[in-house]
Amino acid sequence: MREEQLEAVRERLTSSSEPVTAERIAEAVRAEGLALGSGTTAQLVKTLRDELVGLGPLQQFVDAAGVTDVVLDGTGRIWTDGEDGLVDTGQRIGSEEQARTLARRLISIAGGRLDEGHPCSDGRIGNCRIHAVIPPIAVEGTMISLRVARSSTAGLEQLAQQWKGADQWVRALKGLVARGRNYLVSGATGSGKTALLAAMLSQVPSTERILVVEDTTELIPDHPHAMHLQGRGGNVEGAGRVEMGQLVRETLRMRPDRLIVGECRGAELRDFLTAMNTGHAGAGGTVHANSPQAVPARLIAMGALAGLTPETVAVQAAAALDAVIHVERREGKRMPTALAALRYDDGRLTMVPALTIGAAGLERGPAWEELLG
């Protein structure tokens, strides 16, 4: 197909307010008098649909099995992350102009804004969380990051196939859920916090109602009664913004059996801890931390954003939270490496080991009986 004909097809599709569907694309191709084989037509329809309403050149990598992240770097190279670690696909986006156009279109589809006055933005398209940054903030060039949330969430047993001491970990995590323990999953970015939390929520009885609060929806547990509330950014004047803390408060009026905050990272911690201290057993969330021992400092820092003193955070967290499950990425595999109980001891929040990976394998600590005995 000549480029002029392809451009004519694009113009025909984008000049109308009707949704761009496979049927409309096929009609536009035929209207240009193009006689193509069925296989060529089908491939062209898919390419145009990806370009106009999908993820463009990134779509094929999002659709690939085992891929958890797709990233476009500032030089136009496309990378994937997943079971094989970070991999250069060998594919590129030809120019900075094309990369910026793609980024703006994707953010626009997600309901956001990306321009010189707002050079960083994120949102959600289908099963992907998208984040984009354009120059001059992105020094090398436009960068796009896609986090893929699979609709078919892996269960604990499936995730545990790559864990050390899988049987004991599965028993411990199922035990936390069954006993209604309140917990946080800690770890670095990309360590598997969300995947583990979703797998744990799949163990919640189907008769219980799960309410999930997230800034951008990523957590998709395999559960028949999991409802989501998602934060919203404000308009140019800042009006219309809905904060995470407000959403946590809203859930308390929605009859939750289990309250989940996808990621605690700011002042919403105050509302989260308050909710868990009002009898909501089995609550959970994720938090960025380098180790279980770093979690108290992270909680205190987040509490400071809500105007809470360190002692107040320590007292409330010890009363609200039972456990922290820490996950890491080792040799390309995401796995839990430590389970600890939270305690308030001598005026401060401390972590007491319950299960850790030691030199001899998994070792139970003094908090095992407290959490799972």
Can you tell me the distance from the alpha carbon of 52 to that of 71, in angstroms, rounded to the nearest whole number? Answer: 19
Q: 203 pLDDT band (50/70/90 cuts)?
A: very high
Beta-carbon contacts of residue 246 (< 8 Å; ≥ 6 apart) = none
**Could you give all domains of the chain from N- to C-terminal order, each with its CATH number?**
3-53 (no CATH), 57-148 (3.30.450.90), 156-372 (3.40.50.300)
pLDDT in tens, 161-194: 989 899 999 999 999 999 999 999 999 988 889 9
Query: Residue 7: left (phi > 0), alpha (psi -120 to 50), or beta?
Result: alpha
User: To the nearest whole percent, how much of the chain has pLDDT over 70?
Assistant: 84
Residue 152 has pLDDT above 70, yes or no: no
pLDDT in tens, 244-295: 888 988 998 999 999 999 888 888 888 888 888 877 789 999 999 998 899 9
**Model pTM above 0.85:** no
Mean local confidence (pLDDT), 94-98: 90
Mean local confidence (pLDDT), 40-57: 68
Per-residue model confidence (pLDDT) at position 178: 96
Per-residue model confidence (pLDDT) at position 1: 46
Higher pLDDT, 145 or 245: 145
Residue 25 has pLDDT above 90, yes or no: no
Can you tell me the distance from the alpha carbon of 229 to that of 213, in angstroms, rounded to the nearest whole number? Answer: 5
Q: Do the Cβ atoms of 358 and 300 come closer than 8 Å?
A: no
Concatenated DSSP letters of 308-361:
--HHHHHHHHHHH--EEEEEEEETTEEEEEEEEEEEEETTEEEEEEEEEEETTE
For strand 183-187 and strand 284-288, is the pairing parallel, antiparallel, or unpaired? parallel
